Amino acid sequence: MRAIQIDRFGTPDVLGIVNAPEPEPGPGEVLIRTVATSLNPVDDKTREGAIGEGTPPLPMTLGWDLAGIVVDGGATGLRAGERVIAMSHQLSTGRGTWADLVALPAEAVAAAPQSVSLAEAATLPLPGLTALQTLDWLAVKAGERLLIAGAAGAVGGLALQIARARGAQVDALVSRDAHVAFAHDHGAGFVTTDRNALQDRHYDAVFDTFGAFVTEAVADGGRYASIATQAGPVPDLSSRGVRTTVNQVREDGAGLNELTELVDDGSLQLRMHSAFGLHEIQAAHARFLQGGLAGKIAVVF
């Protein structure tokens, strides 16, 4: 089968399509034929060699997101032919999704949304689970005030919509004027590009997607979650009674089912910037590196 692998770290030209052995699903695993995947910042960092300790050994198959068709559900209850989505924690398992066939634990797999194509669905798993699990940690209740820093990004844009669906009042810090309309259109109240405008707004919770560390914006006794692992820990705010975390996404089929329902009931809109073919993987990474994306890059098998 085809797999996108690297055997060294570097610029997008280290990415190659190789002929790899087909995976054999173990007990409790499901074998999926990949239809589409997508690019995430972690894939870029892994290819570059920027992850450091904990990177799987070379050569490695890259990729976390997966949308495809079940080939063999084994005893998992998933049936051959079902449209599914999944996230594989590639860094901890070495099990990349950028391959024709992927075997994953059934607990990491969920039904794909019916209302979008599998290419669009492939943009959901990693950023969607990160948004969902971090909002769960923040435990934002209906009516509470949440600030999302980076609300027009892949994770932030989904978090904004999920938080609104849960009844939270959401404000947004975005990088540039072009993102202001996106945040307003998806339910944000106050939207700014100026972090100084956030001082003393006393948010119940802050969801920080890029290491903004706008700690002055959270109320005493509030919650502050970052997902920007490489920016380091959130400053200690315990003297103000603020709980902090740097959240790490984990495989979670139940969470994916929740996301699928939100897509199908119209609460969650997915944004696909463009779709590249498998053989265009180097060009896809080059486009990702240019930045300024409004939506995600899908890769279609």
Ligand X SMILES: NC(=O)c1ccc[n+]([C@@H]2O[C@H](COP(=O)([O-])OP(=O)(O)OC[C@H]3O[C@@H](n4cnc5c(N)ncnc54)[C@H](OP(=O)(O)O)[C@@H]3O)[C@@H](O)[C@H]2O)c1
Q: Decide whether 182 or 301 has the Cβ nearer to ligand X.
A: 182
Interatomic CA distance for residues 65 and 38, integer angstroms:
6
The residue type of 219 is A
Which residue in the set 55, 215, 229, 282 belongs to the binding site for ligand X (CB under 6 A)? 229
Interatomic CA distance for residues 112 and 130, integer angstroms:
17
Tell whether residue 153 is a contact of ligand X (CB under 6 A).
yes
Which residue in the set 242, 249, 256, 259 belongs to the binding site for ligand X (CB under 6 A)? 249
Nearest to 218 by CA among 207, 229, 233: 207
Nearest position to ligand X, beta carbon: 153
To the nearest whole angstrom, how small is the minimum distance from the Cβ of residue 250 to ligand X? 8
Tell whether residue 255 is a contact of ligand X (CB under 6 A).
no
Tell whether residue 12 is a contact of ligand X (CB under 6 A).
no
To the nearest whole angstrom, how small is the minimum distance from the Cβ of residue 153 to ligand X? 2
Is the preceding peptide bond at 59 cis, omega within 30 degrees of 0?
yes
Interatomic CA distance for residues 218 and 238, integer angstroms:
12
To the nearest whole angstrom, how small is the minimum distance from the Cβ of residue 43 to ligand X? 9
Site string for ligand X, 68-107 (x = CB under 6 A): ----------------------------------------
Distances (CA, A) of 122 to 92, 155, 225, 276: 20, 14, 25, 12
Q: Decide whether 81 or 292 has the Cβ nearer to ligand X.
A: 292
Answer whether 106's CB lies under 8 Å from 9's CB.
no
Site string for ligand X, 28-57 (x = CB under 6 A): ------------xxx---------------
> How many helices (H) does the chain have, and how many strands (E)?
8, 16
Answer whether 215's CB lies under 8 Å from 222's CB.
no
Interatomic CA distance for residues 228 and 234, integer angstroms:
9
Tell whether residue 217 is a contact of ligand X (CB under 6 A).
no
Q: Decide whether 61 or 247 has the Cβ nearer to ligand X.
A: 247
Span near ligand X by CB under 6 A; candidates 76-84, 184-192, 242-250, 254-262: 242-250
Which residue in the set 173, 188, 218, 299 belongs to the binding site for ligand X (CB under 6 A)? 173
Answer whether 197's CB lies under 8 Å from 134's CB.
no
Residues sharing a CB contact under 8 Å with residue 238, sequence separation 6 or more, in sequence order: none
Interatomic CA distance for residues 168 and 32, integer angstroms:
36
To the nearest whole angstrom, how small is the minimum distance from the Cβ of residue 224 to ligand X? 14
Nearest to 135 by CA among 231, 271, 272, 255: 255
Size of the site for ligand X (CB under 6 A): 25
To the nearest whole angstrom, how small is the minimum distance from the Cβ of residue 83 to ligand X? 24
Where along the sequence are the contacts to ligand X (CB under 6 A)?
40-42, 126-127, 130, 150, 152-156, 173-176, 209-210, 227-229, 247-249, 291
